[in-house]
Copies of this chain bind each other. A is one copy, B any other.
């Protein structure tokens, strides 16, 4: 954690956060719920904090990073799938034609997701993702995708854990995709990563030992109303602190805010077209519209990336 604190005074656990309403609301909340004798004190076991991933902990533009993985996987495995050339969005992906890919719409993209996320064991998939995060580079920043995590949010995760919180990811992204890097990138272990999933099939592998084979069947979508349902199912405690960045997080924030006692609901508003991207109400990726309106109505914390964050990404290695 030394590099984190090196940027600010030793007493400041959030050195990448500019002084302002957002930082203050976080620090005040943590103080209220962790001070013995405070009327808002929360026992450590109940200090559950949930975080969306895409656009909240790492970037998500120009396409969701998991989708960049899908496109790379389509290209990498195309030789084994000559039948893909008959499918327009697969052919477009192989040809590097992004417009053609997007023209396939949601259904076409999900078909490519299923094709690249099934037919292998969970262990094999984990190795594939680990290799990809180690080798792939972002088209704009030319850095590994796992370096495009938000430094201020890394500090926040550390700060919360230092104050007895248990931090979880609750994301629409694939759970097995995220688990391949979440512990290293965010300090969040696999059992605290909740995401969307496909069904797995328990069967004998080639060596007779059991495997879990990833199948194309979608099992759970951890987005929108799926987030509180997933939180209930996987955690069984309502969070007291939750952070997202888009309308897909609205229900998670509502669920968190509706609990008894002190509650924190936060949104990252992408306002920085220079250091990152600027998008909200009309963006196809990470649309922030209804959640922004509700945040104003309920006095939730809205982080303005441009003014609240001293730095966006960790220093390049």
Contact = CB atoms under 8 A, between A and B. Distances in A.
Nearest to A229: B200
A190 interface: yes
A179 B233 CA distance: 11
B190 A235 contact: yes
Contacts of A147: none
Given A210-B254, A228-B210, A258-B209, A233 B189 contact: no
Interface string A177-197: 001000100000111110001
B229 A190 contact: no
A45 B254 CA distance: 32
B175 A191 contact: no
Q: How many copies are assembled?
A: 2
Contact of A212 (B189, B212, B229): B229
Contact of A202 (B190, B237, B251): B251
Contacts of A232: 122, 200, 212
A193 B236 contact: yes
Contact of A210 (B179, B219, B234, B255): B255
A255 B190 CA distance: 17
Interface in A184-241: 189-193, 197, 199-202, 209-210, 212, 219, 225, 228-229, 232-237
B122 A235 contact: no
B122 A210 contact: no
Given A191-B166, A229-B212, A258-B209, A175 B251 contact: no
Given A197-B233, A234-B234, A237-B191, A228 B202 contact: yes
A176 interface: yes
A153 B228 CA distance: 33
25 contacts: A45-B189, A48-B191, A122-B232, A166-B191, A175-B233, A189-B236, A189-B237, A190-B235, A190-B236, A190-B237, A191-B235, A191-B237, A200-B229, A200-B233, A201-B229, A202-B225, A202-B229, A202-B255, A209-B258, A210-B228, A210-B251, A210-B258, A212-B228, A212-B255, A219-B233
